Structure 1
Amino acid sequence: MQCYLEYVRVQKRLAARTLALYQLDLEKLAQFAARLNLPLLQLENTHIRHFMLQMHSGGRSGRGIALILSGWRGFFTWAAQQGLIAYNPVQNVRAPKASKPLPKSLSVDEAVYFAGFANPGADPWIEARDAAMVELLYGCGLRVGELAGLDTVASADAERQGRGWVDLQAGEAHVLGKGSRRRSVPVGRAASAALRAWLALRATPFGAAAPCEPALFV
């Protein structure tokens, strides 16, 4: 173990803090091996998985386990290169998936205040654009990437390049979602009104959007 730590200190120039964590994690693995009456270099894939499950059930996060496994994997890779073991027992071991907490939503009062917010002294062009963006995001359940990919009208070019558009007459938004899958979503009255107000200002001197600019939001 000490030879490996010296190797990564010199060859990989690890920071002292990182080196200390590597040593601590390897010592814990050696203690686990000792409880099994096995030398560290005789641990097998099943032993590593068992220890990983113990850590997970003990409250260790998936990200923390992934970092520990990365250090162990490097150690056993080095040991294999030195001819000390026949294979790396950590090679195919993956940490549990880290949980992804849901985003916090606005309260009803906060949502009403946000939707009704107005700043009369602001640039009317920017106000109209931002209002239309918020109404589409909220009312249609769009992702930011889907919103940014909207064109003013449907076109063969938009289809070919994977962009979307809004059909105000039909009351629908056609967007390109995750996995390059197209979907159509209804556009409600508030979003339609905000879009019409935005389109009325979009090409005016306030914003000077070029006539040939296809993007809905510029």
Structure 2
Amino acid sequence: MNYGAGDPRDQLAHVGSEVVRAGLVVGSGGNLSARVSGNGDFWVTAAGTWLDRLDRSAFVRVRIADGATVSDDTHPPTSELPLHLATYRRRPDVAAIVHLHPQAVLLLDALGEQIRLVTTDHAFYLRRVVTTPFRLPGTAELADEAAAAAADGTNCVILSRHGCSVVADSVELAHKRALYLEEAARLTYQALALGRAGTLPDCPPEFVRAVEAGTQSTV
């Protein structure tokens, strides 16, 4: 899949297929969106779509300014449209949003356990993870909480008992962050199952400082 060019709907369809294959999604547990380059619109998955069965017809084009549907489509957008709108309005640097219901992330949230950023990949791609209080799905309250949590540059937001909102300046990077968030959650859970979560260290601080200083990359 070439993430660098082409219709963003094709890129999002690829993400949908891959996150289901990776076990991050069951059924239609999530929704995806991407800005239209050079425009004030974005494509978002239609209501009830299965993420591993997406094609271009499964997306609805929406105007960021007022939330109006501008595509010639009779399908309504996802019920989480307010989440996407609020985030794009607060974060003009964000080009893609991956909202999923990943199992390990949500299990740790239900247990009140913080996800540890154990590896250099976690530290580099995720930086930090913020959890918002429970709000009813699809509501303006949930959307406002998520957008406020991301307003300072946070790119991984856990919506308590509901899912995650992972954002980036490209579809590819949002996809990577979603994968690493669930990997970090699974490693944390494994440490918890071994009775070692309390002693599980985060990524070495010297690496984190180098990432924050912009002198460290990863492959």
Scaled by the length of structure 1, the TM-score of the pair is 0.21
Q: Rg larger in 1 or in 2?
A: 1
More strand by share: 2
| Relative contact order higher in (CA < 8 Å, ≥ 6 apart) | 2
Scaled by the length of structure 2, the TM-score of the pair is 0.21
